Amino acid sequence: MNILHTVEFYYPSKGGSQEVIKQISERLVQKGHSVTVATTYDPQRKSLSHNGVTIEQFHITGNRVRGLHEEKQGEIERYRNFVLNSQFDVMMNYAAQQWTFDTLLPIIDNIRFPQILAPCGFSWLHDTNYREYYTTLPMYLKQYSGHILHSSSYQDSEFYRNNAIPFVVLPNGAAAEEFQNIDTQASIVFRKKYGIPPDIPLLITIGSHTGLKGHRLVIEAFRRANIGKAVLLVIGNTLDKHNCLWDCRRRAWRTILSSYGQKKVYILDIPRQETIQALKAADLFVFGSNIECSPIVIFEAIAAGTPFIATDVGNCREIAEWTHNAGIIVEGQKNEHGLFFASRSDFASAIEKMLSNTEYLKQLSIQARAAWQQNFTWEIIADKYEKFYDDIIKSYKR
């Protein structure tokens, strides 16, 4: 197959969407397929090919609601012509509400190969600014040949059902080559490097400092939790100057001071391999995000055999069910913009409950890792993407 994937950001950019498309694209190349990724221009990108995947980059930003912007004149037209005039067998647009999907809507009927959309949750579905966008969207979705959702229970699946649009569910995952052979030595090495004794509870959260990944909730819940000596790692990068890094550092120092040094919070931006070691070393993964579709970091936690606590965001509850209840879900409420918020006290109580029973944690760790090995490696998931693409191509009629 000659496959086109479109995604707003791609390698070397880091993030959930980038990781999904990178994993699927590279594994399809390994299976003998040709894969091109159309994405936003990145000044850090040194090559237009990575691990066999061809990269086509465009100087475009924004979406239909915020506005589509060309940093070079004629880029939108160049992107549309690239899609229209290329000989692909299938195209998969990853995520709505961003330019690689939105700019194609006026020309969808002119594309002469099958199109697939993975909407990634419709993050701003409840935002009044997007009301017209979502009112007109079903008309375009029905022109697509297929749809991939990461959950059967999140708001995008409800939107599809309400509009009688069929879809398949293909979950996210974690890479076997990163997590299959990780051993206890990795956790010993990590704890030793950061001076964390083996008998001290270690909690970890991972997410860019966007202000929406729940760092505030996690740090404050950790501060309140009655768990004695403990360490919390907040691992994440900053994407731009508008971030929550300073706020995280302030809350970290507040936690250290108020506990008289019994609790420590490390704010880290570390290499990938060290992050994997941290996941293995941790006793508990804590995730307080405000908005998600199907967070990869949860799958990576279970791949490391680390039980989790998460807010009831995206399909975290569904992931807990898929992994034989390897995690606790903290309930809360959504605001008018669709952002989810849970109370610090409830999250702190969940932390206390999970850490109060060592044998319980060990059992959850075994359950989590077994579920990942059986269903959620990227190898298994890439096979499902390949089959779905093949089925769509075979049934396509224009």
Average pLDDT over residues 212-216: 96
Average pLDDT over residues 72-98: 97
Would you state the pLDDT for residue 329? Answer: 96
**Residue 183 pLDDT greater than 80, yes or no:** no
Would you state the pLDDT for residue 397? Answer: 75
pLDDT > 90 in the chain, percent = 89
Report pLDDT digits (tens) over 307-354. Answer: 999 999 989 999 999 998 899 999 999 888 778 999 999 999 999 999
E strands, 241-352, in order: 263-268, 284-287, 308-311, 327-330, 333-334, 340-341
Average pLDDT over residues 52-78: 96
**What average pLDDT does the structure give for the chain?**
95
**Residue 180 pLDDT greater than 90, yes or no:** no
Distance of CA 65 to the CA centre of its chain: 23
**Residue 56 pLDDT greater than 70, yes or no:** yes
By DSSP bridging, strand 284-287 and strand 308-311 are parallel
Full set of structural domains in the chain with CATH = 2-173+378-395 (3.40.50.2000), 176-374 (3.40.50.2000)
**Residue 224 pLDDT greater than 80, yes or no:** yes
Would you state the pLDDT for residue 324? Answer: 86
Report pLDDT digits (tens) over 225-269. Answer: 999 999 999 999 887 888 999 999 999 999 999 999 999 999 999
CA angle 64, 288, 199 (to 5 degrees): 150
Higher-pLDDT residue of 381 and 358 is 381
Q: Which amino acid is at 283?
A: D
Distance of CA 177 to the CA centre of its chain: 19
Report pLDDT digits (tens) over 109-151. Answer: 999 999 999 999 998 898 899 999 999 999 999 999 999 999 9
Would you state the pLDDT for residue 337? Answer: 79
Would you state the pLDDT for residue 275? Answer: 95
**Residue 201 pLDDT greater than 90, yes or no:** yes
Total Cβ atoms within 10 A of residue 200: 16
Alpha carbons 391 and 26: distance in angstroms, whole number: 20
Would you state the pLDDT for residue 186? Answer: 84
Would you state the pLDDT for residue 398? Answer: 66
Total Cβ atoms within 10 A of residue 274: 16
Alpha carbons 229 and 231: distance in angstroms, whole number: 7
CA angle 241, 244, 250 (to 5 degrees): 125
Would you state the pLDDT for residue 261? Answer: 93
pLDDT > 70 in the chain, percent = 100
Would you state the pLDDT for residue 241? Answer: 80
